[in-house]
Amino acid sequence: MVTGRMRGRVRVRTAVLYTALTVGLVAVAGPFLWTVLGSFKPDAEIRRDPPTFLPAEWIGGNYAALFERMDVVTVTINSVVVASVVVASNLLFCSLVAYALTKLDFAGGRLVFGLVLLQMMVPGIVLLIPQFVTIASLNLADTYAGIVLPGLVTPLGVFMMRQFMADIPDELVQAARVDGSGEFRIFFQIVMPLCKPVLATLGLITFMGSWNAFLWPAVVAQHKEMYTLPVALASLSGRDSVHYGMLLAGVVVVITPVLLLFVALQRYFVQGVATAGLK
């Protein structure tokens, strides 16, 4: 009797939980789905009131138009190059800084960390002109180097890695030192392997940031051969007229890699967010 009532209660709770999850799923995935479906509709149907969900007729013309008006291969390569360099360097450099901040005892460590935190409070847009002037006087405007340079180490990355590494027991590091291991060996062979979840999280965050970055690459890249995906996509929309179908097709092209990456790293991502103290 008691177990029956409990089972009933569990069933109600499950039902409520799933209803809530379904509502959440629809709210999150709905616009996504609409975008994907919309990329197969003609423009007149996208603008139709009341709107349709499933395309009345499926067309591939939007993708054809996108590939015709935009050099998708070149800009995708640019995006991949930029994002890979930014992710790799963030993983390495942010971890190195974090290691120094947590495992090495040096004068001014707290000050350095304070400076890092301070940078997190400066809005990126404020830095646009000074950064561009610097890049331009280094003759790096319109180059890959110019696009990636300001993003190679991010304060958020340092912060995340520091929070995670602070929880790695110092005894582990000291034991290795006693055994005669150098700092780089400790860093690469002991600390980094323990950081996998947070590295996955950081990798994903910086990848998304770099993949979606718009203003900076748009300002630095001065030829369409240097454009990244979002920049090339934005150059397709006119001031007064927008080819929505084609833009939706472009959006699908842009988000697909992020989506795949997220699915692949999802387990680490959740773990990383939970452990990095960003709850």
Partner 1 sequence: MKRYTTGSLALLTAGLVALAGCGRASDGGAAEAPKDVDTSAAATGTLSVWAMGTEGEALASFAKQFETANPGIKVTVTPVGWDVAHDKITASIAGRSTPDVSMIGSTWMGELAKSGAVDPTPGNVIDKAAFFPSAWGTVEVDGTAYGVPWYVETRVLYYRKDLADKAGVAPPATWDETKTFVKALQKAGAEQGMQLNYTVGSWQEILPLVWQQGGSITGADGKWTFDTPELVKALEVQRSYFEEGLASNKVDPASFPASFFKGDVGAYYSGPWMIAGMEKDGGPGFAEKFGVAPYPKGSASGTSFIGGSDLVVFKDSANRDAAWKFVRWLSEPATQAKWYSAVKALPSVQAAWELPEVSADERVAVFGEQLKDAKTPPPFPTWDQISKAIDQEVEKVALGKTSPKDAAKAIQAQADAVGTGL
Name which of 13 and 224 has its Cβ closer to partner 1: 224
The one segment of 17-25, 43-51, 165-173, 264-272 that binds partner 1 by CB under 8 A: 43-51
Tell me the closest approach of the beta carbon of residue 154 to partner 1, in angstroms: 21
The answer to the question of residue 93 lying near partner 1 (CB under 8 A) is no
Stretch that binds partner 1, among 130-138, 159-167, 173-181, 268-276 (CB under 8 A): 130-138
State which residue, 233 or 265, has the beta carbon closest to partner 1: 233
Q: Does residue 189 belong to the site contacting partner 1 (CB under 8 A)?
A: no
The tokens 């499926």 sit on which residue?
Answer: 58
Q: Which of 9, 11, 13, 47 binds partner 1 (CB under 8 A)?
A: 47
Please report whether residue 126 would count as binding partner 1 according to CB under 8 A.
Answer: no
Nearer to partner 1, 216 or 269 (CB): 216
* Rounded CA separation 167/190 (Å): 14
**Tokens 């789905």 — which residue?**
33
Looking at beta carbons only, is 251 or 276 nearer to partner 1? 251
Query: Per rule CB under 8 A, is residue 44 in the interface with partner 1?
Result: yes
Is residue 241 a contact point for partner 1 (CB under 8 A)? Answer: yes
Identify the three-state secondary structure at position 107.
coil
CB of 224 to partner 1, least distance (A): 5
- Per DSSP, 13 falls in state H
For residues 271 and 108, the answer to whether their CB atoms sit within 8 Å is: no
Tokens 């509709």, located at residue: 41
**Nearest residue (CB) to partner 1, 113 versus 227:** 227
Residue whose C-alpha is closest to residue 86's, from 259, 203, 223: 203
Cβ proximity to partner 1, 47 vs 196, nearer residue: 47
CA 259 to chain centre: 10
For residue 15, the minimal CB distance to partner 1 (Å) is: 35
Burial class (CB in 10 A: 0-12, 13-18, 19+), 172: middle
Half-sphere exposure of 144 (CA within 13 A, CB side): 11
Residue 89 as a binder of partner 1 (CB under 8 A): the answer is: no
**At CB < 8 A and 24+ separation, what contacts does 205-209 make?**
205/156, 205/157, 205/160, 206/86, 206/87, 206/90, 206/91, 206/151, 206/154, 206/157, 207/83, 207/86, 207/87, 207/258, 207/261, 208/258, 209/86, 209/151, 209/154
If binding is defined by CB under 8 A, does position 234 make contact with partner 1? yes
- Regarding 74 and contact with partner 1 (CB under 8 A), the answer is no
Which residue from 256, 219, 213, 250 is spatially nearest to 87, judged by alpha carbons?
A: 213
54-73 binders of partner 1 (CB under 8 A): 69
Q: Which residues contact 178 (CB under 8 A, 6 or more apart)?
A: none
> For residues 3 and 137, which CB has a smaller minimum distance to partner 1 in the complex?
137
Q: How many residues bind partner 1 (CB under 8 A)?
A: 34
| Distance of alpha carbon 30 from alpha carbon 17, whole angstroms | 19
Binding residue (CB under 8 A) for partner 1 from 9, 177, 224, 267: 224
Q: Which residues contact partner 1 by CB under 8 A?
A: 43-44, 47-49, 69, 128-130, 132-138, 141-142, 214-215, 218-219, 222-224, 231, 234-241
